[in-house]
Structure 1
């Protein structure tokens, strides 16, 4: 078993339920500390995590992340508290501002002031988990309720954030920071800012890493992470593309968009002229190369996270998990 603190995450595009569950079970066997399941427009992440909770005994389970537009604060708190009870205290609630495409295209809500929404929901969820009554509009003349469960103020809340406003929300309301699409350099800068902002308060758990794929055939591993990165840039609205461009990869983003007029999660490409962005935001190669590259993330993070692209064969998933966890394979 590994002595490093490791986590593995799956993207919202991974919809093979049997693969999701098998990944969590194998991660626990290999000594991973955290399993994170994103939620998008397919499975309810909290329900799948409940299934996993009943088949595991040690690994922490992160709803990573739930959109703050997808449920009321009370529903978010209720789901997290229920999962925490079923798992024996292993639940972690991940929250994020999501994207315009998902908020408006699936939930039919206006994507306005996302940082404000994130702050308000995170604050209210924490209050409800602590056993307080829900804050309601006084105009409703209703009796504010509290959850009919034992308070769970210790249940961790991790926030996915990358911008200036949302990073401040992490400092004020989170127990953990869960970024994605930051280069190693930018992640370390943000981590240092957060630690300074949190001075005198309990430290944050910083969980960072990148999309990863390990394979004996290095080209195959590159194609896997390249397709995932290109899909996010080309098909998930402007937010991810703008974030990557702002870190010095504007030309790479434009080249990737030009190369993928009809992107798919498993069939998109990163052209050679965008290799610098691919190398900065993903980890790929032989098992040894993947392990060594992930080690470079250790100085800035408490938990080193790998994110597995969707749709890849089980053999590749298992090889990637083992490449990170086991030193001598």
Structure 2
């Protein structure tokens, strides 16, 4: 008897700006047996538009925003797009939300980045209420009648939250169906799970699914895998604001973080090697599979393998094939 495939999802970052590649990767993820395909949104394409296209060309795989920030759309807009995409996909949609960053909120959406965790919680609760068929809860006095969505309620539509800081992780326990931490050290997963349980217990809810996003630097050629690993570290620890370095320092990895800015292109300095082990799926297929097993052993219930942006399609196909829950030959 064939053993059942273990749960695994695919994530695509906001920096993957080739729509044809995004659609191809979603098709390929479905063929290879991945459970879900998550598309993040940043400052390029509208992720729900691409997911709508994917919904019409796939049949099985779950589709989600991995993630949308809570500054660029109102709770009503988020609830409407979630309901619409769930309808279009035949009930396969997952709404992923996150607090984003000051640069994204203020530099793109022209919204002040204040009290981000409170904003994430308020938006999530309002979206959930609207999806359950309730009326909007006004945040300010007014004479207009609060509205509800004019579509059938979808109270069971899953909502996932991206969270790294302690307050945000507790919030995920309180209001989310799944916790989606991206670039969290594997050794920090246990502490995060404890915070998640704490939040869930306080709210009297089930503990959310643990679904970490793990960057992929997988290739048969060690030099390619190494260069991709270097790109992940230097990009996210030097050019994406303070959140990721702060998370690493909180986990006791500050010395390794300090070594990253000195890296030459395509190289990982000796002092940062621990970050490759803690953060990435790195090396050949065998090494990556062993690392996935380690993540599962640490409590990851639905790992999300996050593909590097801008890489050749053949390289991305090979990585999906190497990590696949169900191997399928790459089409000619």
Q: Residues 90, 326 of structure 1: CA spacing in aligned structure 2 closer, same or farther, 3 A cutoff? A: closer
How do 1:126-275 and structure 2 match up within 5 A? 126-195=128-197, 197-199=199-201, 201-259=205-263, 270-275=268-273
Q: Give a deviation string over 1:153-198, Cα, whole Å, max 9, x none.
A: 0100000111111111111110111011211121122124423543
Contact 2:173 2:207 in 1 (8 A): no
Whole-angstrom distance in 1 between the partners of 2:98 and 2:199 = 20
Whole-angstrom distance in 1 between the partners of 2:259 and 2:19 = 34
**2:81 — aligned with what?**
79
Look up the SS of the partner of 2:211 in the other structure.
Answer: strand
Aligned length in residues: 323
**1:263 — aligned with what?**
none
Structure 1 window deviating more from structure 2 (225-234 vs 200-209): it is 200-209
**2:291 — aligned with what?**
293
Structure 1 window deviating more from structure 2 (127-136 vs 186-195): it is 186-195
Q: Residues 97, 326 of structure 1: CA spacing in aligned structure 2 closer, same or farther, 3 A cutoff? A: closer
Whole-angstrom distance in 2 between the partners of 1:195 and 1:137 = 29
Whole-angstrom distance in 1 between the partners of 2:57 and 2:187 = 38
Look up the SS of the partner of 1:212 in the other structure.
Answer: strand
Contact 1:130 1:153 in 2 (8 A): yes
TM-score, normalised on structure 1? 0.93
Contact 2:32 2:327 in 1 (8 A): no
**1:56 — aligned with what?**
58
Contact 1:53 1:87 in 2 (8 A): yes
Q: Give a deviation string over 1:64-117, Cα, whole Å, max 9, x none.
A: 111011110000111111000000000000011111111111111111111110
Look up the SS of the partner of 2:253 in the other structure.
Answer: helix
* Unmatched 5+ stretches in structure 2: none
Look up the SS of the partner of 2:67 in the other structure.
Answer: strand
* Unmatched 5+ stretches in structure 1: 261-266
